[in-house]
Structure 1
Amino acid sequence: MHYLLFLHIVEAVEAYDAYFQQKPDTLENLGLLFIQKYTTAICQLTYGMPANAIDKYVQIAKTIAIKNLKCFC
């Protein structure tokens, strides 16, 4: 996928769903980047990667990777 097309899709998903926006938690620490959340969903859909394999690739827990996929779909 061309990089500019990828960024265009990422921006559209972020604008559509507030879940994919980066927000601070209660301690004012920023959460995951929207591109990390998007990448986990795309890897699972495109390559059929299991959620626990995403942990090593994007450094996101298995449960968060599953939640990202559900929100993306």
Structure 2
Amino acid sequence: MTERLKVDMIACDGHGVCAELVPELIGLDEWGYPILANAPVPQELHKHARKAVSLCPKLALSLARTRT
């Protein structure tokens, strides 16, 4: 099993904290909302992804387990 980042676009306010913490996996659109990489979180970035999830001001970001 792997994990992927997911964002609840309704809850997200576009603060951009997630993109600052893990820019390898999250970019921002022209309004500041996240654009997630369509790939599993690599092991070397897992710690940063978890930090981004925990520091999301609106709790809109999560890690979801997926089957490989």
Do they fold alike, i.e. is TM over 0.5?
A: no
**TM-score, length-scaled by structure 2:** 0.32
Higher relative contact order (CA 8 A, sep 6+): 2
**TM-score, length-scaled by structure 1:** 0.30
